Structure 1
Amino acid sequence: MLTPEEWEAVRLSLGVAARSVLVSLLPAVAIAWLLARRDFPGRTLLDALVHLPLVVPPVVVGWALLMTFGVRGPIGAPLHDWFGIRLVFTTEGAALATAVMSFPLIVRAVRLGLEHVDRGLEEAARTLGAGPLDRFITVTLPLMSPGILAGAVTAFAAGLGEFGAVITFASNIPGETQTLPLAIYAATQTPGGEAVAARLAAISFALAVGGLLLAELLARRMGRWLGRA
Structure 2
Amino acid sequence: MNYLGWLFEPANWSGQGGVPERLLQHVGYTALTMITALVLAVPLGAWIGHTGRGGFLVVGLANGLRALPTLGLLVLLVGALGIGLIGPLVALVILAVPPILAGTYAGVRNVDNAVVDAARGMGMRGRDVLFRVELPNALPLVVGGIRSSLLQVISTATIAAYVALGGLGRFIVDGLAVRDFPQMIGGSILVAALAIASDLLLAALQKVLVSPGLRVAPTRGRRLRAVRDPRPAAQAA
* TM-score strictly above 0.5: yes
Question: In terms of Rg, which structure is larger?
Answer: 2
- Letter aligned with residue 57 of structure 1: P
Identical-residue share of aligned pairs (%): 18
Q: Which one-letter code corresponds to 2:39 in the other structure? A: L
Q: Distance in 1 between the 2:192 and 2:73 partners?
A: 24
* CA shift in 2, pair 1:54/1:202, >3 Å: same
Alignment counterpart, residue 146 of structure 2, candidates 129, 146, 152:
152
Q: Aligned to 2:172, what secondary structure does the other structure show?
A: helix
Matches of 2:148 and 2:118, distance apart in 1: 33
Match of 1:181 among 148, 169, 177: 169
1:10 to 23, 32, 47: 23
Instruction: Supply the AA of the counterpart residue of 1:24.
Output: A
Shift of 1:137: 1.6
CA change 1:221–1:164 in 2 (3 A) is closer
Correspondence 1:1-150 to 2 at 5 A: 1=10, 2-4=13-15, 5-6=17-18, 7-40=20-53, 43-66=55-78, 70=81, 88-150=82-144
- Output the CA distance in 2 between the equivalents of 1:164 and 1:204: 8
RMSD: 2.9
Task: Give 1:45 deviation, angstroms.
Answer: 4.4
Structure 1 distance, partners of 2:204, 2:67, is 28
C-alpha spacing 1:27/1:134, structure 2 compared with 1 (3 Å): same
CA distance in 1: counterparts of 2:94 and 2:159, whole angstroms: 9
- Structure having greater relative contact order (Cα 8 Å, sep ≥ 6): 1
Task: Find the aligned partners of 2:160 and 2:65 in 1 and give their Cα distance.
Answer: 13
1:80: which partner in 2?
none
2:104 touches 2:145 (CA, 8 Å); kept in 1? Answer: yes
AA of the residue aligned to 1:160: I
Contact 1:28 1:103 in 2 (8 A): yes
Q: Secondary structure at the match of 2:139?
A: helix
In the alignment, the residues of structure 2 paired with residue 100 and residue 110 of structure 1 have an alpha-carbon distance, to the nearest angstrom, of 16
- Show the counterpart of 1:208: 195
Q: Distance in 1 between matches of 2:51 and 2:155?
A: 33
Q: Which residue of 2 aligns with 1:81?
A: none
Q: How has the CA–CA distance of structure 1 residues 147 and 61 changed in structure 2, closer, same or farther, with 3 Å as cutoff?
A: same
**Unaligned 5+ residue runs, structure 2?**
1-9, 216-237
Q: TM-score, normalised by structure 2?
A: 0.71
1:102 deviates by 1.5
5+ unaligned residues in a row in structure 1: which ranges?
71-87
Distance 1:111 1:57, change over 3 A: same
Deviations 1:37-66, CA, capped at 9 Å, x for gaps: 4454x6534532333231121133224534
Kindly indicate whether residue 190 of structure 2 is the aligned counterpart of residue 190 of structure 1. Answer: no
Following superposition, the deviation at residue 206 of structure 1 comes to 1.0
